[in-house]
Amino acid sequence: MRRILKAVTAVVCSAMLLGSCSSDGGQRSDQALFSYFVPEQIATSNSASYLGFLTDSSLISPRLYPGVFVHGPAGQMIPNRDVATAQLLPGAKRQVVYTIADNATFSDGAPLTCTDFTLAVQAGKFPEVFNSHVPLVQQIEEVKCNPGAKEFTVVFHEGQGYRWRHLFRSGTVMPAHVVASKLGITEQDLFGRIQSGDVEQMRQIGETWSEAFRLDRFDPAAQVSFGPYKVERITEGGGLVLVANELYNGDAPAISPLVIRPQSSTAGSFHEDGGAVGIADVPAVSDAAWTEKKSTYRVETTSGKLVDELILQKSGQLAAPEDRQALAACIDQAQVAQESATVSGVTVSPLGTRLSPADTPTAIATQDIGAAHLGVDIPAAERLRGKTIRVAYVGPNPRFAAMIQAMQKSCEPAGITIEDVSADFDPATATIEPPIIGDASAAFPENAGLVAPDSQPQPQATTYAASNYATASASVVPPQADALLIAVEPGFEYGNVAASTEEQEELRHAEEMLWQEVPTIPLASQPRVFIIDNAVENVAIGTTRSGIGWNMDRWSKGAK
């Protein structure tokens, strides 16, 4: 992450986007702007890209590229009619008709159309071409769209699409006209290429879609939005200056301009230097120590909606489900959660299930399944004796490092070495690896609430079709590692799970089958710590991928 921060700073100065690169005048004026601090550097505004997934770009996207449904603070999906309306049609195959708001436009005046949504779906369906991570779109059979139209229909594979409200979440519908312009082609031509499903026709589109919205290569013409905010520029320290989008089809934001700043652990020193800290999402309670003698701030802590988990390779020494089960058997989730709590200062829950956040009704309904997989079973782990399991994550991250140390201690008696390889993992250069179509079908009997590999069309020579998350998830683990440690949002992951998150029996079947396949190992809920200026009104704590900024356009500054 330090490499990304340096790159962002360098590109800003070299492009002379700010006068503050040559003097501190601009920097000082920027310090006076309302600041929202996020834990790490935001590397891209494209949350659907692999880089966006790895670096939490969802924290800035909610009010730049709003979803068709807004993910609220309690995890509820709130219809966002400023963008589009959605109507579910009855039938054996779920179909959802989307009607885009007539006045929904990008900040450069281009209309928001079904071409943009079709690009979002195809980007998710071809992760190794677009370097993307949008698992749920694997449930989509087709998108019926006339290029440039304001209405389109999504058709799901039979028995799938229960989580249709989670599609087109914030930060995943990017401007197709920007991608087409950068390639020197028309939107009609772009549409034809992505609909072809031909990898060679899509390759340049995929590269542009993945790279055009990176902030270390900041291009103002590419950073167009259809939300209440748009990105105006980047500050010298890598902060994003957001201003009101005059063309937004909704109410104007109450605070403009607003700066989203990286490295929230530095918020205290920024404040001491005269900076205006409005909100800070910090990694640990210790990062909020500077507020102890300041009555103008409060600190809120909570166990969040995201789940810290290990996403496992489906190749190499973890190719067989039995090998992944053996690794899970040596991990003590309770001790991992304790280490996470010690570093963050926030009590979190150990987890043995994947499809529900902690302490939700569905999590409670599957608690017995999770409990059977908590704790350590050394005899079951013996299968991996003598093996070294390499774990990557985006660092530096003291909390993740401590969690890996807990895994090292619990796996050592089984002769399994857990190695922290985060120093060798650079998200700025990471790419999706082609997935291996493998052995998941044996783990998915009928009526288990999961999609077996033979239930979807097989890929052609020039196309890719991932049939389930267990195989496709291998692609998000970097090649130098056997596992990726990351916080995920259950509702948006596991594209192979066709079970409704509201049907407890279906969820129970799905959880049981996932423990047979073990594409991931759930560890604990994610701790969250927020510093809030008491003068800021309309703040609603959110712990989803959108974070506390899910409604930042409604924040307002009142009297202290």
Q: Give the containing element (helix H, strand E) for 26.
A: helix 25-31
Sign of the dihedral defined by the CA atoms of residues 106, 112, 116, 117, in that order: positive
Under 8 Å CB-to-CB from 146, ≥6 apart: which residues? 114, 152
pLDDT of residue 560: 55
- Inter-residue contact 179 to 209 (CB < 8 Å): yes
Please choose, from the candidates 346, 239, 347, 348, the residue with its C-alpha nearest in 3D space to the C-alpha of residue 288.
346
Residue 66's pLDDT band (boundaries 50, 70, 90)? very high
pLDDT of residue 14: 42
Taking only the tens place, the pLDDT of each residue in 514-534 is 999 999 999 999 999 999 999
- Section 406-416 average pLDDT: 98
Taking only the tens place, the pLDDT of each residue in 265-283 is 999 999 999 999 999 999 9
3-class SS at 428?
Answer: helix
Q: Taking the domain 30-296+534-557, which CATH number applies?
A: 3.40.190.10
Residue 75's pLDDT band (boundaries 50, 70, 90)? confident
CA distance 57 to 101: 25
The whole-angstrom distance between residue 117's C-alpha and the CA centroid of its chain comes to 18
pLDDT of residue 435: 53
Between strands 277-282 and 258-261, the pairing is unpaired
CA distance 414 to 214: 43
3-class SS at 243?
Answer: strand
pTM value is 0.90
Taking only the tens place, the pLDDT of each residue in 7-45 is 544 444 444 343 334 344 455 588 999 999 999 988 999
- For 323, phi and psi rounded to 5 degrees? -70, -40
- Section 64-87 average pLDDT: 92
Which contacts of 196-199 are long-range, i.e. CB under 8 A and separated by 24 or more positions? 197/122, 197/460, 197/462, 197/463, 198/462, 198/463, 199/126, 199/129, 199/462, 199/463, 199/464
Q: What is the dihedral of CA 494, 495, 496, 499, to 10 degrees?
A: 80
Does residue 243 carry a pLDDT above 70?
yes
- Section 355-377 average pLDDT: 90
Taking only the tens place, the pLDDT of each residue in 301-318 is 999 999 999 999 988 999
Residue 497's pLDDT band (boundaries 50, 70, 90)? confident
- Would you tell me how many other CB atoms lie within 10 Å of the CB of residue 195? 17
pLDDT of residue 498: 82
Task: Give the neighbor-by-neighbor strand order of the sheet with 151-156.
Answer: 84-89, 95-100, 151-156, 140-145
Domain at 301-431+465-526, CATH class: alpha beta
pLDDT of residue 73: 81
Share of residues in the chain with pLDDT > 90 (%):
77
- Section 149-160 average pLDDT: 96
- Section 213-218 average pLDDT: 94
Residue 407's pLDDT band (boundaries 50, 70, 90)? very high
CA distance 533 to 496: 42
What six digits make up the tokens of 165? 């409200």
Does residue 444 carry a pLDDT above 90?
no
- Inter-residue contact 15 to 138 (CB < 8 Å): no
Please choose, from the candidates 230, 197, 221, the residue with its C-alpha nearest in 3D space to the C-alpha of residue 118.
197
Does residue 405 carry a pLDDT above 70?
yes
The whole-angstrom distance between residue 42's C-alpha and the CA centroid of its chain comes to 12
Does residue 501 carry a pLDDT above 80?
no
pLDDT of residue 91: 86
Residue 74's pLDDT band (boundaries 50, 70, 90)? confident
Task: Give the neighbor-by-neighbor strand order of the sheet with 483-488.
Answer: 229-234, 240-244, 258-261, 34-37, 277-282, 520-533, 297-312, 483-488, 388-392, 417-420
Taking only the tens place, the pLDDT of each residue in 321-336 is 999 999 999 999 999 9
Taking only the tens place, the pLDDT of each residue in 450-474 is 443 334 433 332 222 233 333 334 3
pLDDT of residue 1: 54
- For 144, phi and psi rounded to 5 degrees? -95, 105
Q: Where in the chain is the domain with CATH 3.40.190.10?
A: 30-296+534-557
- Inter-residue contact 352 to 522 (CB < 8 Å): yes
DSSP code of residue 473: G
- Residues present in the chain in total: 560
pLDDT of residue 84: 98
pLDDT of residue 496: 82
Q: Where in the chain is the domain with CATH 3.10.105.10?
A: 301-431+465-526
Taking only the tens place, the pLDDT of each residue in 97-153 is 999 999 999 999 999 999 999 999 999 999 999 999 999 999 999 999 999 999 999
- Looking at every residue in the chain, the average pLDDT score rounds to 88
